[in-house]
Amino acid sequence: MGWSGRYPWLAEAALVAVLLAAAAGLPDGRSWWVRLPLLLVLVSTVLWRRRHPRAAATVAVGAAWAGLLGGVWKEHLPLAHVALLVMVYTLVVRGRRGSAAVVAPLAAGFFTAWALRWYPGVDAGWGAAGFCLLVGTAWLLGEYVRARRAYAQAQRRAVAAAAIAGERARIARELHDVLAHSVGVMVVNAEGARLMRHTDPAVVDRTLDLVSSTGRAALKELRRLLDVLQPSGEGVLQPPGEGHGLPPGEPADLRDLVTRAGAGLAGAQLRIAGTADGVPASLLGQVYRIVQEALTNVLNHAGARASVDVLLDFGAPGRRRTVRVEVVDTGGDGGGPGLPSSGRGLAGMRERVTDAGGTLEAGPVPGGFRLAAALPVYGSTAASQPATADSQCRDDTMGRWGHGY
Protein backbone atom coordinates (compact mmCIF):
# COMPACT_ATOMS: atom_id res chain seq x y z
CA MET A 1 0.00 0.00 0.00
CA GLY A 2 2.80 2.39 0.85
CA TRP A 3 4.54 1.46 -2.42
CA SER A 4 1.42 2.32 -4.43
CA GLY A 5 1.27 5.69 -2.66
CA ARG A 6 4.88 6.52 -3.52
CA TYR A 7 4.60 5.38 -7.15
CA PRO A 8 0.91 5.82 -8.08
CA TRP A 9 1.32 5.86 -11.87
CA LEU A 10 3.46 2.74 -11.84
CA ALA A 11 0.94 0.95 -9.65
CA GLU A 12 -1.96 1.94 -11.88
CA ALA A 13 -0.05 0.85 -14.98
CA ALA A 14 0.42 -2.54 -13.32
CA LEU A 15 -3.33 -2.70 -12.62
CA VAL A 16 -4.11 -1.86 -16.24
CA ALA A 17 -1.74 -4.57 -17.44
CA VAL A 18 -3.38 -7.16 -15.19
CA LEU A 19 -6.88 -6.22 -16.35
CA LEU A 20 -5.90 -6.35 -20.02
CA ALA A 21 -4.08 -9.65 -19.64
CA ALA A 22 -7.08 -11.19 -17.87
CA ALA A 23 -9.51 -9.94 -20.54
CA ALA A 24 -7.45 -10.64 -23.67
CA GLY A 25 -7.95 -14.41 -23.67
CA LEU A 26 -11.76 -14.43 -23.71
CA PRO A 27 -12.87 -16.45 -26.75
CA ASP A 28 -16.52 -15.48 -26.95
CA GLY A 29 -18.03 -12.45 -28.60
CA ARG A 30 -17.05 -10.51 -31.66
CA SER A 31 -13.64 -10.51 -33.34
CA TRP A 32 -10.53 -9.32 -31.48
CA TRP A 33 -10.16 -6.09 -33.48
CA VAL A 34 -13.56 -5.00 -32.09
CA ARG A 35 -12.99 -6.24 -28.55
CA LEU A 36 -9.45 -4.94 -28.07
CA PRO A 37 -10.09 -1.22 -28.81
CA LEU A 38 -13.09 -1.24 -26.49
CA LEU A 39 -11.02 -2.91 -23.76
CA LEU A 40 -8.24 -0.32 -24.19
CA VAL A 41 -10.73 2.54 -23.88
CA LEU A 42 -12.34 0.95 -20.83
CA VAL A 43 -9.11 0.20 -18.98
CA SER A 44 -7.23 3.37 -19.96
CA THR A 45 -9.65 5.40 -17.85
CA VAL A 46 -7.81 4.06 -14.78
CA LEU A 47 -4.67 5.91 -15.87
CA TRP A 48 -6.18 9.37 -16.14
CA ARG A 49 -8.95 9.16 -13.54
CA ARG A 50 -6.80 11.29 -11.19
CA ARG A 51 -6.79 14.46 -13.23
CA HIS A 52 -10.27 14.08 -14.74
CA PRO A 53 -12.31 11.75 -12.53
CA ARG A 54 -15.71 12.72 -13.93
CA ALA A 55 -14.63 12.44 -17.55
CA ALA A 56 -12.90 9.11 -16.87
CA ALA A 57 -16.02 7.75 -15.17
CA THR A 58 -18.21 8.90 -18.08
CA VAL A 59 -15.97 7.18 -20.64
CA ALA A 60 -15.78 3.98 -18.58
CA VAL A 61 -19.56 3.74 -18.17
CA GLY A 62 -20.10 4.55 -21.85
CA ALA A 63 -17.60 1.90 -22.99
CA ALA A 64 -19.19 -0.72 -20.74
CA TRP A 65 -22.71 -0.06 -21.97
CA ALA A 66 -21.51 0.08 -25.59
CA GLY A 67 -19.99 -3.36 -25.22
CA LEU A 68 -23.18 -4.70 -23.67
CA LEU A 69 -25.59 -3.21 -26.19
CA GLY A 70 -23.34 -4.03 -29.14
CA GLY A 71 -22.90 -7.66 -28.13
CA VAL A 72 -19.12 -7.34 -28.14
CA TRP A 73 -18.91 -10.06 -25.46
CA LYS A 74 -21.31 -12.86 -24.77
CA GLU A 75 -21.36 -15.10 -21.69
CA HIS A 76 -18.03 -14.03 -20.19
CA LEU A 77 -17.79 -10.63 -18.50
CA PRO A 78 -14.23 -9.28 -18.99
CA LEU A 79 -12.34 -8.46 -15.81
CA ALA A 80 -11.63 -5.06 -17.36
CA HIS A 81 -15.05 -3.98 -16.13
CA VAL A 82 -13.48 -3.66 -12.67
CA ALA A 83 -12.69 -0.17 -14.00
CA LEU A 84 -16.31 0.72 -13.22
CA LEU A 85 -15.75 -0.11 -9.55
CA VAL A 86 -12.52 1.90 -9.60
CA MET A 87 -14.41 4.91 -10.98
CA VAL A 88 -17.02 4.76 -8.20
CA TYR A 89 -14.26 4.49 -5.59
CA THR A 90 -12.31 7.37 -7.13
CA LEU A 91 -15.26 9.75 -7.22
CA VAL A 92 -16.10 9.05 -3.57
CA VAL A 93 -12.50 9.45 -2.42
CA ARG A 94 -12.25 12.76 -4.27
CA GLY A 95 -15.45 13.98 -2.61
CA ARG A 96 -17.47 13.94 -5.84
CA ARG A 97 -20.43 12.20 -4.23
CA GLY A 98 -22.91 13.81 -6.60
CA SER A 99 -21.12 12.35 -9.61
CA ALA A 100 -20.69 9.05 -7.78
CA ALA A 101 -24.44 8.97 -7.12
CA VAL A 102 -24.96 9.04 -10.90
CA VAL A 103 -22.16 6.67 -11.91
CA ALA A 104 -22.90 4.02 -9.24
CA PRO A 105 -26.49 3.31 -10.42
CA LEU A 106 -25.32 3.22 -14.04
CA ALA A 107 -22.59 0.74 -13.12
CA ALA A 108 -25.01 -1.34 -11.03
CA GLY A 109 -27.52 -1.23 -13.91
CA PHE A 110 -24.88 -2.45 -16.32
CA PHE A 111 -23.92 -5.40 -14.13
CA THR A 112 -27.59 -6.22 -13.48
CA ALA A 113 -28.45 -6.14 -17.18
CA TRP A 114 -25.46 -8.36 -17.93
CA ALA A 115 -26.49 -10.91 -15.32
CA LEU A 116 -30.11 -10.96 -16.44
CA ARG A 117 -29.07 -11.40 -20.06
CA TRP A 118 -26.46 -14.12 -19.75
CA TYR A 119 -27.14 -15.97 -16.46
CA PRO A 120 -29.82 -18.68 -16.45
CA GLY A 121 -32.76 -18.74 -14.02
CA VAL A 122 -32.13 -17.96 -10.37
CA ASP A 123 -28.43 -17.39 -11.03
CA ALA A 124 -29.36 -14.15 -12.76
CA GLY A 125 -30.82 -12.74 -9.54
CA TRP A 126 -27.87 -13.87 -7.44
CA GLY A 127 -25.44 -12.54 -10.00
CA ALA A 128 -27.17 -9.15 -10.15
CA ALA A 129 -27.20 -8.93 -6.33
CA GLY A 130 -23.54 -9.84 -6.17
CA PHE A 131 -22.54 -7.24 -8.74
CA CYS A 132 -24.56 -4.52 -6.97
CA LEU A 133 -22.91 -5.52 -3.71
CA LEU A 134 -19.53 -4.96 -5.35
CA VAL A 135 -20.57 -1.45 -6.40
CA GLY A 136 -21.71 -0.71 -2.84
CA THR A 137 -18.46 -2.09 -1.47
CA ALA A 138 -16.46 0.19 -3.78
CA TRP A 139 -18.48 3.17 -2.48
CA LEU A 140 -17.96 2.19 1.18
CA LEU A 141 -14.24 1.61 0.61
CA GLY A 142 -13.97 5.08 -0.91
CA GLU A 143 -15.76 6.58 2.10
CA TYR A 144 -13.45 4.75 4.49
CA VAL A 145 -10.27 5.83 2.71
CA ARG A 146 -11.51 9.42 2.47
CA ALA A 147 -12.32 9.49 6.19
CA ARG A 148 -9.00 7.86 7.07
CA ARG A 149 -7.11 10.37 4.94
CA ALA A 150 -8.99 13.27 6.57
CA TYR A 151 -8.14 11.83 9.98
CA ALA A 152 -4.46 11.55 9.07
CA GLN A 153 -4.42 15.14 7.80
CA ALA A 154 -6.17 16.39 10.94
CA GLN A 155 -3.65 14.50 13.04
CA ARG A 156 -0.76 16.04 11.14
CA ARG A 157 -2.28 19.49 11.61
CA ALA A 158 -2.72 18.82 15.32
CA VAL A 159 0.90 17.67 15.61
CA ALA A 160 2.07 20.77 13.76
CA ALA A 161 -0.10 23.05 15.91
CA ALA A 162 1.21 21.42 19.09
CA ALA A 163 4.80 21.80 17.88
CA ILE A 164 4.20 25.48 17.05
CA ALA A 165 2.56 26.12 20.41
CA GLY A 166 5.39 24.36 22.23
CA GLU A 167 8.00 26.36 20.34
CA ARG A 168 6.19 29.61 21.05
CA ALA A 169 6.00 28.74 24.75
CA ARG A 170 9.70 27.84 24.79
CA ILE A 171 10.72 31.10 23.09
CA ALA A 172 8.45 33.13 25.40
CA ARG A 173 9.99 31.38 28.41
CA GLU A 174 13.51 32.12 27.19
CA LEU A 175 12.68 35.77 26.52
CA HIS A 176 11.10 36.11 29.93
CA ASP A 177 14.10 34.65 31.70
CA VAL A 178 16.63 36.76 29.80
CA LEU A 179 14.78 40.06 30.08
CA ALA A 180 13.38 39.67 33.58
CA HIS A 181 16.76 38.78 35.07
CA SER A 182 18.85 41.32 33.19
CA VAL A 183 16.41 44.18 33.67
CA GLY A 184 16.04 43.31 37.36
CA VAL A 185 19.80 43.36 37.91
CA MET A 186 20.14 46.63 36.02
CA VAL A 187 17.30 48.32 37.93
CA VAL A 188 18.57 47.23 41.34
CA ASN A 189 22.11 48.39 40.63
CA ALA A 190 20.97 51.63 38.99
CA GLU A 191 18.95 52.51 42.08
CA GLY A 192 21.88 51.63 44.30
CA ALA A 193 24.19 53.80 42.22
CA ARG A 194 21.78 56.71 42.57
CA LEU A 195 21.88 56.39 46.35
CA MET A 196 25.69 56.25 46.40
CA ARG A 197 26.47 58.98 43.92
CA HIS A 198 27.14 61.59 46.63
CA THR A 199 29.03 59.37 49.07
CA ASP A 200 31.22 57.05 47.01
CA PRO A 201 31.62 57.87 43.29
CA ALA A 202 33.92 54.85 42.83
CA VAL A 203 31.02 52.56 43.75
CA VAL A 204 28.89 54.34 41.19
CA ASP A 205 31.49 53.71 38.50
CA ARG A 206 31.71 50.01 39.36
CA THR A 207 27.93 49.75 39.43
CA LEU A 208 27.56 51.42 36.05
CA ASP A 209 30.17 49.02 34.66
CA LEU A 210 28.09 46.16 36.01
CA VAL A 211 24.92 47.62 34.48
CA SER A 212 26.72 47.94 31.15
CA SER A 213 28.10 44.40 31.24
CA THR A 214 24.69 43.03 32.23
CA GLY A 215 23.06 44.82 29.30
CA ARG A 216 25.69 43.51 26.90
CA ALA A 217 25.25 39.97 28.21
CA ALA A 218 21.48 40.29 27.78
CA LEU A 219 21.91 41.44 24.18
CA LYS A 220 24.25 38.53 23.50
CA GLU A 221 21.74 36.04 24.90
CA LEU A 222 18.91 37.62 22.92
CA ARG A 223 20.91 37.31 19.71
CA ARG A 224 21.64 33.68 20.51
CA LEU A 225 17.95 33.08 21.17
CA LEU A 226 16.83 34.82 17.97
CA ASP A 227 19.26 32.70 15.95
CA VAL A 228 16.90 29.77 16.41
CA LEU A 229 14.19 31.70 14.56
CA GLN A 230 16.34 32.07 11.46
CA PRO A 231 15.65 29.36 8.86
CA SER A 232 18.53 27.15 7.87
CA GLY A 233 19.59 26.56 4.26
CA GLU A 234 16.80 23.99 3.86
CA GLY A 235 14.18 26.52 5.00
CA VAL A 236 13.53 24.91 8.38
CA LEU A 237 14.13 26.23 11.87
CA GLN A 238 17.32 25.19 13.57
CA PRO A 239 16.86 22.97 16.62
CA PRO A 240 17.53 24.55 20.01
CA GLY A 241 20.82 23.63 21.59
CA GLU A 242 24.24 24.99 22.30
CA GLY A 243 24.62 28.21 20.39
CA HIS A 244 20.95 28.14 19.32
CA GLY A 245 18.68 29.59 21.96
CA LEU A 246 20.13 28.09 25.15
CA PRO A 247 22.99 29.71 27.12
CA PRO A 248 26.30 27.84 27.53
CA GLY A 249 25.69 27.06 31.22
CA GLU A 250 29.29 26.17 32.11
CA PRO A 251 30.38 26.69 35.74
CA ALA A 252 32.21 29.87 34.72
CA ASP A 253 29.02 31.27 33.22
CA LEU A 254 27.10 30.43 36.39
CA ARG A 255 29.72 32.16 38.54
CA ASP A 256 29.43 35.27 36.38
CA LEU A 257 25.63 35.08 36.67
CA VAL A 258 25.72 34.85 40.47
CA THR A 259 28.32 37.59 40.69
CA ARG A 260 26.19 40.02 38.68
CA ALA A 261 23.09 39.23 40.72
CA GLY A 262 25.04 39.42 43.98
CA ALA A 263 26.11 42.99 43.26
CA GLY A 264 22.54 44.06 43.93
CA LEU A 265 22.13 41.92 47.06
CA ALA A 266 23.71 41.74 50.50
CA GLY A 267 25.63 38.70 49.36
CA ALA A 268 25.63 35.81 46.90
CA GLN A 269 27.51 32.54 47.08
CA LEU A 270 27.86 29.74 44.52
CA ARG A 271 29.00 26.29 45.61
CA ILE A 272 29.67 23.61 43.01
CA ALA A 273 30.05 19.90 43.73
CA GLY A 274 31.40 17.59 41.05
CA THR A 275 32.23 18.45 37.45
CA ALA A 276 30.16 19.16 34.38
CA ASP A 277 31.98 16.52 32.32
CA GLY A 278 29.46 14.30 30.56
CA VAL A 279 26.50 16.60 31.17
CA PRO A 280 24.81 17.58 27.86
CA ALA A 281 25.03 21.22 26.84
CA SER A 282 21.23 21.43 26.61
CA LEU A 283 20.89 20.35 30.26
CA LEU A 284 23.57 22.84 31.34
CA GLY A 285 21.53 25.53 29.57
CA GLN A 286 18.43 24.52 31.50
CA VAL A 287 20.38 24.67 34.78
CA TYR A 288 21.58 28.16 33.87
CA ARG A 289 18.04 29.34 33.21
CA ILE A 290 16.73 27.85 36.46
CA VAL A 291 19.42 29.61 38.50
CA GLN A 292 18.83 32.80 36.55
CA GLU A 293 15.10 32.82 37.22
CA ALA A 294 15.62 31.96 40.90
CA LEU A 295 18.01 34.90 41.29
CA THR A 296 15.52 37.14 39.48
CA ASN A 297 12.86 36.20 42.02
CA VAL A 298 15.23 37.02 44.86
CA LEU A 299 16.01 40.42 43.37
CA ASN A 300 12.36 41.24 42.71
CA HIS A 301 10.80 39.96 45.93
CA ALA A 302 13.40 39.70 48.71
CA GLY A 303 15.07 43.05 48.22
CA ALA A 304 18.63 44.33 48.29
CA ARG A 305 19.22 43.27 51.90
CA ALA A 306 18.77 39.60 51.08
CA SER A 307 21.61 37.16 50.61
CA VAL A 308 21.43 34.08 48.44
CA ASP A 309 23.15 30.72 48.50
CA VAL A 310 23.31 28.68 45.27
CA LEU A 311 24.32 25.02 45.42
CA LEU A 312 24.97 23.11 42.20
CA ASP A 313 25.69 19.38 42.39
CA PHE A 314 26.56 17.73 39.08
CA GLY A 315 26.27 14.27 40.60
CA ALA A 316 28.37 11.17 40.15
CA PRO A 317 28.76 9.71 36.63
CA GLY A 318 26.46 6.77 35.92
CA ARG A 319 23.11 5.78 34.54
CA ARG A 320 21.29 7.40 37.48
CA ARG A 321 23.26 10.61 37.41
CA THR A 322 21.22 13.61 38.50
CA VAL A 323 22.07 17.30 38.48
CA ARG A 324 20.70 19.06 41.57
CA VAL A 325 20.19 22.80 41.92
CA GLU A 326 19.27 24.51 45.18
CA VAL A 327 18.79 28.26 45.61
CA VAL A 328 18.03 29.59 49.10
CA ASP A 329 17.69 33.25 50.00
CA THR A 330 17.97 34.45 53.59
CA GLY A 331 17.16 37.73 55.20
CA GLY A 332 15.76 40.54 53.12
CA ASP A 333 12.97 42.96 53.85
CA GLY A 334 10.76 42.31 50.83
CA GLY A 335 11.67 45.68 49.46
CA GLY A 336 12.35 44.66 45.89
CA PRO A 337 12.49 47.12 42.99
CA GLY A 338 8.76 46.74 42.40
CA LEU A 339 9.11 45.55 38.81
CA PRO A 340 5.91 44.26 37.18
CA SER A 341 5.65 40.49 37.42
CA SER A 342 4.32 38.23 34.67
CA GLY A 343 3.58 35.43 37.10
CA ARG A 344 5.42 33.06 34.78
CA GLY A 345 8.62 32.65 36.79
CA LEU A 346 7.89 29.48 38.77
CA ALA A 347 5.57 28.16 36.07
CA GLY A 348 8.34 28.49 33.49
CA MET A 349 10.81 26.71 35.77
CA ARG A 350 8.36 23.86 36.31
CA GLU A 351 7.95 23.51 32.55
CA ARG A 352 11.71 23.36 32.09
CA VAL A 353 12.15 20.76 34.79
CA THR A 354 9.23 18.69 33.52
CA ASP A 355 10.58 18.76 29.96
CA ALA A 356 13.88 17.44 31.31
CA GLY A 357 12.11 14.65 33.22
CA GLY A 358 13.00 16.11 36.63
CA THR A 359 11.27 17.45 39.73
CA LEU A 360 11.01 20.92 41.27
CA GLU A 361 10.33 21.98 44.84
CA ALA A 362 9.67 25.62 45.72
CA GLY A 363 8.36 27.16 48.91
CA PRO A 364 9.07 29.44 51.84
CA VAL A 365 11.55 28.48 54.55
CA PRO A 366 12.25 30.25 57.86
CA GLY A 367 13.68 33.62 56.91
CA GLY A 368 13.48 33.25 53.16
CA PHE A 369 12.57 31.07 50.18
CA ARG A 370 13.99 27.79 48.87
CA LEU A 371 13.96 26.36 45.38
CA ALA A 372 15.34 22.89 44.59
CA ALA A 373 15.40 21.13 41.21
CA ALA A 374 16.60 17.63 40.30
CA LEU A 375 17.36 16.97 36.61
CA PRO A 376 18.29 13.47 35.40
CA VAL A 377 21.21 13.54 32.99
CA TYR A 378 19.90 10.56 31.05
CA GLY A 379 16.22 11.50 31.29
CA SER A 380 14.05 11.25 28.19
CA THR A 381 11.61 13.86 26.95
CA ALA A 382 10.19 11.62 24.20
CA ALA A 383 7.02 11.01 26.15
CA SER A 384 6.28 14.71 26.32
CA GLN A 385 6.64 15.22 22.56
CA PRO A 386 3.45 15.42 20.52
CA ALA A 387 4.57 12.80 18.00
CA THR A 388 7.65 11.08 16.68
CA ALA A 389 8.78 10.64 13.10
CA ASP A 390 8.01 6.92 13.26
CA SER A 391 4.51 7.47 14.57
CA GLN A 392 3.83 10.06 11.88
CA CYS A 393 5.04 7.62 9.22
CA ARG A 394 2.68 4.98 10.57
CA ASP A 395 -0.19 7.47 10.61
CA ASP A 396 0.56 8.50 7.04
CA THR A 397 0.49 4.95 5.64
CA MET A 398 -3.24 4.93 4.99
CA GLY A 399 -3.05 8.50 3.71
CA ARG A 400 -0.46 7.48 1.11
CA TRP A 401 -2.54 4.47 0.13
CA GLY A 402 -5.64 6.58 -0.35
CA HIS A 403 -3.71 9.08 -2.43
CA GLY A 404 -2.18 6.36 -4.60
CA TYR A 405 -5.30 4.30 -5.24
Query: Do 216 and 80 share a structural domain?
Result: no
Please classify residue 89 by burial: count the beta carbons closer than 10 Å to its beta carbon, then call 0-12 exposed, 13-18 middle and 19+ buried. Answer: buried
Mean pLDDT within 209-232: 71
**Residue 302 and residue 308: Cα distance in Å, rounded?**
10
Query: pLDDT class for 335, splitting at 50, 70, 90?
Result: low
Reply yes or no on whether the pLDDT at 255 is more than 60. Answer: yes
Query: Do 356 and 209 share a structural domain?
Result: yes
Query: Do 52 and 187 share a structural domain?
Result: no
Query: Do 59 and 180 share a structural domain?
Result: no
pLDDT digits (tens, 9 = 90+) for 25-46: 655 666 767 777 888 888 888 8
Query: Do 178 and 110 share a structural domain?
Result: no
- % of the chain residues with pLDDT over 90: 15
Phi, psi of 105 (to 5 degrees): -65, -35
3-class DSSP state for residue 373? strand
* Position 36 in a domain: yes
Handedness of CA 253, 257, 259, 260 (dihedral sign): positive
* Position 150 in a domain: no
pLDDT for 140:
94
pLDDT for 385:
41
| Closest to 324 in 3D by CA, of 364, 292, 286 | 286
Q: Which amino acid is at 402?
A: G
Q: In this structure, what CATH number is given to the domain that contains residue 203?
A: 3.30.565.10
Query: Do 210 and 62 share a structural domain?
Result: no
- % of the chain residues with pLDDT over 70: 71
**Residue 230 and residue 238: Cα distance in Å, rounded?**
7
**Residue 171 and residue 188: Cα distance in Å, rounded?**
26
* Position 81 in a domain: yes
- Tell me the pairing of strands 267-273 and 306-313: parallel
Reply yes or no on whether the pLDDT at 351 is more than 90. Answer: no
Query: Do 164 and 111 share a structural domain?
Result: no
Query: Do 202 and 350 share a structural domain?
Result: yes
* Position 123 in a domain: no
Out of 85-99, 353-367, 373-387, give the one with best mean pLDDT: 85-99
Q: How far apart, in Å, are the Cα atoms of 292 and each of 263, 285, 330, 344? A: 14, 10, 17, 14
Q: How far apart, in Å, are the Cα atoms of 170 and each of 211, 220, 358, 371, 397? A: 27, 18, 17, 21, 31
Query: pLDDT class for 326, splitting at 50, 70, 90?
Result: very high
Bridge partners, 237 (sequence order) = 231
Q: How far apart, in Å, are the Cα atoms of 244 and each of 228, 286, 330? A: 5, 13, 35
Query: Do 85 and 169 share a structural domain?
Result: no
Mean pLDDT within 65-78: 79
Pick the range with the lowest mean pLDDT from 60-74, 205-219, 337-351, 367-381: 337-351
Query: pLDDT class for 106, splitting at 50, 70, 90?
Result: very high
Query: Do 274 and 222 share a structural domain?
Result: yes
* Position 132 in a domain: no
* Position 141 in a domain: no
Contacts of 116 (CB under 8 A, 6+ apart): 124, 128
Query: Do 181 and 257 share a structural domain?
Result: yes
Q: How many domains does the chain have?
A: 2
Q: How far apart, in Å, are the Cα atoms of 175 and each of 27, 165, 170, 348? A: 79, 15, 9, 11
Query: Do 161 and 113 share a structural domain?
Result: no
* Position 396 in a domain: no
| Closest to 299 in 3D by CA, of 325, 266, 251 | 266
How does DSSP classify residue 78? P
pLDDT digits (tens, 9 = 90+) for 381-392: 433 343 444 444
Query: pLDDT class for 348, splitting at 50, 70, 90?
Result: confident
Reply yes or no on whether the pLDDT at 327 is more than 70. Answer: yes
Host domain of residue 165: 156-384
Query: pLDDT class for 23, splitting at 50, 70, 90?
Result: low
Sheet with 368-376, strands from edge to edge, namely: 267-273, 306-313, 322-331, 368-376, 359-365
* Position 293 in a domain: yes
Q: What is the CA radius of gyration of the chain?
A: 36
Reply yes or no on whether the pLDDT at 399 is more than 80. Answer: no
